[in-house]
């Protein structure tokens, strides 16, 4: 049975957001039940929730992936993207926010505003997503609505505006006072449709005050409504509805509702609010294109589809999830991908409820759906009519914070592992896979240890490849601290023609603007920028034809071969000036190979006498942490050879800024979670290479030597 096609103005796209354990998946189940899409509500703990269908999610009893769902309410289609709450899976949240028109942030009233909520909030601010808050789990004994609201206002601003409050939170919770409708909702024991009652006299004063606060907040954000409010002292329900919609689109008001998703109390009213007031796809500002131009959400416009997520599952196959930003996509349509220069045919279109998919003939601008078997289209690609590239601005994903070296347990599985890693990286843009020639390791980088463990689970279960995680090697660099001379003669006789080349050189630490060597006559300077950073400067200082000019390229090549495999640890060498000033050649036996070997060996000899110095990558690390554990976090950073550079207040948290060597950051995400009980977050960015302390250098060189021997 084909599903109804919805008009743009009747589509609502929401992302369910919140810290892990805030009740998003259970709330989604209520929305599906209230909209008539399911006959009974599934439970996370029973493993039958529509959203958390993945075997991994059932094992863990929490969301790991974002899941596309849909329901309906009074003629509107509500697309729902249920997102995970752990910071390790922030990529799933960001892609959901990119295609959602409203964020629904659930707060666990037992715990108040948690760190995961604040992390997500930063992205909603970046996207300027219209937001509503839902104070959830009000049926729990430790629920504290007032404290939760106080924290929300303190951390997200006074724009958090109470629309509902509970009359009896805790184990007996069943009643909500709504100060927008100015009515009471009393729910039956099994939840569902409430009875509407007048506000009791005991609550009149509180409800009136909160109603007036709401009216004032709405009026403040619209000059026309402000004039009406000053004139009449209030606003009609119609005027409040109009003002609320404008304020939400402008990111000026964040209405706060009440709910018990476990008891299904309050979800219907929130769905009604999404229908009546939350912006439709048509109400939102136009999308920004890569060119800087904009694209209106117009069903009559060119058909433009943006891929926000890609998955490959054994029971679903390869699926691409998309939002229609303009026009109407129909089964059989062919669109062009200007990123990959390929055309793609949409042979099937689906609306999704978890793993369940339903065929549709078409989807109009603003709608979200899925398709299968796109050949050359990936996450962040736009499909459009051939001609003008309507590419939607790409989603920017955060830099990785955790890295491991990964190997297949069986050598026979190495190729399968490479294919699996490629597939996983296609699905998750926050994972970076690098086959490092420098380190001779496959390095996988992600958002945290949990993130990479989930990747390992998928590969082992879906691709049947057993993986081993190892501590990754560090991409050190090698250089020198003083100048040194060397000379080397390569002489080899083998019956017929032999090999002969002799090279004398001076090597020095290189820095920009350094003067020529005073005792040498520099005839030609070659500056070679290195792919791994820094430079090699190669001076030809030969006088009197001791070495023919034609051999200088071979000497330079020999030096470069040695710089790719440094004498200390086999790491890349950088920032060195080499001056070749003398040597000898033979009329018959000299050739390029002889001078390449002579140059390479002379360079190694000089390097070892020039006070070799190991350089290590240094990262800027920012940790946002509650004040009560700040001392422990700082102490841990200092134990990692970190240099604390400053501390700033960030809301109710403290931000610690430090410089830390990459070699000391292994498993930091797990340690930080342990120290702070999951209440901190961090990010790290590469700054520079810096000298490794002498004792550390001795240890690293010995470890690399042992590794090479093994």
Do 402-473 and 615-709 share a fold?
Answer: yes
Residue 474 contacts by C-beta under 8 Å, 6 or more apart in sequence? 616, 617, 662, 663, 700
Phi, psi of 380, deg, nearest 5: 80, 5
Q: How far apart are CA 522 and CA 538, in angstroms?
A: 10
Q: How far apart are CA 257 and CA 275, in angstroms?
A: 15
Per-position DSSP letters for 255-272, written without gaps between them: EEEE-BTTTTBSHHHHHH
Q: How far apart are CA 35 and CA 72, in angstroms?
A: 5
For 468-499, the pLDDT digits (tens) are: 999 999 999 999 999 999 999 999 876 667 89
Q: How far apart are CA 471 and CA 249, in angstroms?
A: 47
For 581-597, the pLDDT digits (tens) are: 999 999 889 999 999 99
Q: Return the pLDDT at 680.
A: 86
What average pLDDT does this structure show over 174-178?
A: 97
Q: Is the pLDDT of residue 1 over 50?
A: no
Q: Which residues pair with 526 in a beta bridge?
A: 538
For 425-434, the pLDDT digits (tens) are: 988 999 999 9
Q: Where are the domains of the chain?
A: 10-217+251-283, 293-383, 402-473, 478-610, 615-709
Structurally, at CATH architecture level, domain 10-217+251-283 sits in 3-Layer(aba) Sandwich (3.40)
Write out the H or E segment, with its range, that includes residue 628: none
Residue 550 contacts by C-beta under 8 Å, 6 or more apart in sequence? none
For 511-543, the pLDDT digits (tens) are: 999 999 988 999 999 999 999 999 999 999 998
Structurally, at CATH architecture level, domain 615-709 sits in 2-Layer Sandwich (3.30)
Q: How far apart are CA 546 and CA 535, in angstroms?
A: 27
Q: Return the pLDDT at 502.
A: 97
Band the pLDDT of 119: cuts 50, 70, 90: confident
Domain 402-473 CATH class label: alpha beta
Band the pLDDT of 53: cuts 50, 70, 90: confident
Report the residue count for the chain.
710
For 438-474, the pLDDT digits (tens) are: 899 999 999 999 999 999 999 999 899 999 999 999 9
Band the pLDDT of 390: cuts 50, 70, 90: very high
- Could you tell me which CATH number the domain at 478-610 has? 3.30.230.10
Per-position DSSP letters for 336-352, written without gaps between them: EETTTTEEEE----EEE
**Given 3-state DSSP classes, what are the helix, strand and coil percentages for the chain, each rounded to the nearest 5?**
30, 30, 35
Smallest Cα–Cα separation from 31: which of 62, 70, 68? 70
Q: Is the pLDDT of residue 313 over 90?
A: no
Q: Is the pLDDT of residue 389 over 90?
A: no
Cα-trace Rg, the chain: 32
Q: How far apart are CA 204 and CA 207, in angstroms?
A: 5
Q: How far apart are CA 431 and CA 442, in angstroms?
A: 13
> Burial of 59 by CB count in 10 Å (0-12 exposed, 13-18 middle, 19+ buried)?
exposed
Mean pLDDT over the full length of the chain: 93
Q: How far apart are CA 692 and CA 613, in angstroms?
A: 7
Band the pLDDT of 225: cuts 50, 70, 90: confident
Q: Which residues pair with 86 in a beta bridge?
A: none
Say how far residue 326 (Cα) sits from the centre of its chain: 26
Fold of 293-383: Elongation Factor Tu (Ef-tu); domain 3 (2.40.30)
Q: Is the dihedral of CA 64, 66, 68, 72 positive or negative?
A: positive
Q: Return the pLDDT at 496.
A: 66
Band the pLDDT of 387: cuts 50, 70, 90: confident
DSSP state of 7: P
Residue 410 contacts by C-beta under 8 Å, 6 or more apart in sequence? 466
CB atoms closer than 10 angstroms to residue 286:
13
Q: How far apart are CA 79 and CA 360, in angstroms?
A: 15
Say how far residue 609 (Cα) sits from the centre of its chain: 45
> Burial of 318 by CB count in 10 Å (0-12 exposed, 13-18 middle, 19+ buried)?
middle
pLDDT above 70 coverage of the chain, percent: 99
Band the pLDDT of 388: cuts 50, 70, 90: confident
Q: How far apart are CA 510 and CA 710, in angstroms?
A: 34
CA dihedral 207, 208, 214, 218 (to 10 degrees): 150
Write out the H or E segment, with its range, that includes residue 407: strand 402-408
pLDDT above 90 coverage of the chain, percent: 78
Q: Return the pLDDT at 2.
A: 52
Q: Return the pLDDT at 268.
A: 95
What average pLDDT does this structure show over 302-326?
A: 90
């Amino acid at each position: 049975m084909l599903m109804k096609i919805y008009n743009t103005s009747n589509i609502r796209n929401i992302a369910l957001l919140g810290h892990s354990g805030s009740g998003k998946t259970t709330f989604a189940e209520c929305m599906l039940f209230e909209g008539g899409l399911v006959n009974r509500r599934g439970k996370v703990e029973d493993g039958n929730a529509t959203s958390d269908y993945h075997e991994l999610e059932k094992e863990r009893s929490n969301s790991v992936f974002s899941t596309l769902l849909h329901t309906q309410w009074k003629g509107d289609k509500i697309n729902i993207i249920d997102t995970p709450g752990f910071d390790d899976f922030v990529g799933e949240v960001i892609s959901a926010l990119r295609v959602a028109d409203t964020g629904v942030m659930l707060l666990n009233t037992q715990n108040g505003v948690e760190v995961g909520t604040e992390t997500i909030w930063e992205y909603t601010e970046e996207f300027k997503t219209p937001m509503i808050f839902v104070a959830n789990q009000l049926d729990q004994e430790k629920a504290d609505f007032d404290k939760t609201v106080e924290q929300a206002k303190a951390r997200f601003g006074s724009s958090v505006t109470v629309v509902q409050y509970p009359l009896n939170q805790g184990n007996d919770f069943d009643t909500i006072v709504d100060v927008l409708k100015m009515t009471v909702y009393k729910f039956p024991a099994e939840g569902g449709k409430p009875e509407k009652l007048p506000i009791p006299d005991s609550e009149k004063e509180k409800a009136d005050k909160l109603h007036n606060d709401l009216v004032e907040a709405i009026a403040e954000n619209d000059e026309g409504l402000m004039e009406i409010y000053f004139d009449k002292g209030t606003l009609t329900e119609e005027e409040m509805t109009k003002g609320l919609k404008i304020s939400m689109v402008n990111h000026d008001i964040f209405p706060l509702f009440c709910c018990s998703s476990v008891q299904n109390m309050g979800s219907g009213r929130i769905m009604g609010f999404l229908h009546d007031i939350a912006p439709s796809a048509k109400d939102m500002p136009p999308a920004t294109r890569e060119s800087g131009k904009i694209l209106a959400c117009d069903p009559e416009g060119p058909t433009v589809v943006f891929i926000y997520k890609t998955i490959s599952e054994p029971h679903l196959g390869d699926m691409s999830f998309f939002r229609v930003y303009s026009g109407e996509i129909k089964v059989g349509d062919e669109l062009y991908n200007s990123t990959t220069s390929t055309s793609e045919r949409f042979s099937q279109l689906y609306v999704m409820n978890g793993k369940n998919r339903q065929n549709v003939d078409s989807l109009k601008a603003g709608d979200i759906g899925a398709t299968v078997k796109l050949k050359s289209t990936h996450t962040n690609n736009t499909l459009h009519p051939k001609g003008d590239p309507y590419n939607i601005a790409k989603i920017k994903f955060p830099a990785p914070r955790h890295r491991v070296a990964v190997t297949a347990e069986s050598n026979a599985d190495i190729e399968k592992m490479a294919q699996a890693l490629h597939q996983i990286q296609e699905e998750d843009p926050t994972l970076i896979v690098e086959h490092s020639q420098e380190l001779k390791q496959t390095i996988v980088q992600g958002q945290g240890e949990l993130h990479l463990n989930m990747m390992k689970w998928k590969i082992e279960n879906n691709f049947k490849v057993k993986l081993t995680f190892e501590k990754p090697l560090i991409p050190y660099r090698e250089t020198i601290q003083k100048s040194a001379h060397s000379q080397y003669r390569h002489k080899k006789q083998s019956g017929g023609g032999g090999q002969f080349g002799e090279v004398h050189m001076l090597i020095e630490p290189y820095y920009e603007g350094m003067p020529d060597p005073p005792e040498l006559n520099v005839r030609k300077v070659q500056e070679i920028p290195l792919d791994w950073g820094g430079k090699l400067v190669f001076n030809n200082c030969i006088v009197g034809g001791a070495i023919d000019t034609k051999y200088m390229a071979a000497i330079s090549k020999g030096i470069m071969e040695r710089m790719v495999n440094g004498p200390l640890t086999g790491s890349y060498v950088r920032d060195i000036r080499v001056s070749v000033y003398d040597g000898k050649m033979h009329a018959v036996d000299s050739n390029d190979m002889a001078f390449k070997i002579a140059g390479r060996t002379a360079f190694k000899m000089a390097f070892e006498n020039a006070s070799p110095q190991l350089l290590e990558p240094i990262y800027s690390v920012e940790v946002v942490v509650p004040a009560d554990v700040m001392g422990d976090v700082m102490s841990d950073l200092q134990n990692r050879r970190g240099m604390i550079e400053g501390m700033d207040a960030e809301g109710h948290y403290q931000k610690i800024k430090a410089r830390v060597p990459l070699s000391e950051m292994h498993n930091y995400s797990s340690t930080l979670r342990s120290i702070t009980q999951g209440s901190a977050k961090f990010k790290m960015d590469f700054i520079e290479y810096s000298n490794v302390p002498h004792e550390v250098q001795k240890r690293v060189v010995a470890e690399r030597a042992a590794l090479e021997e093994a």
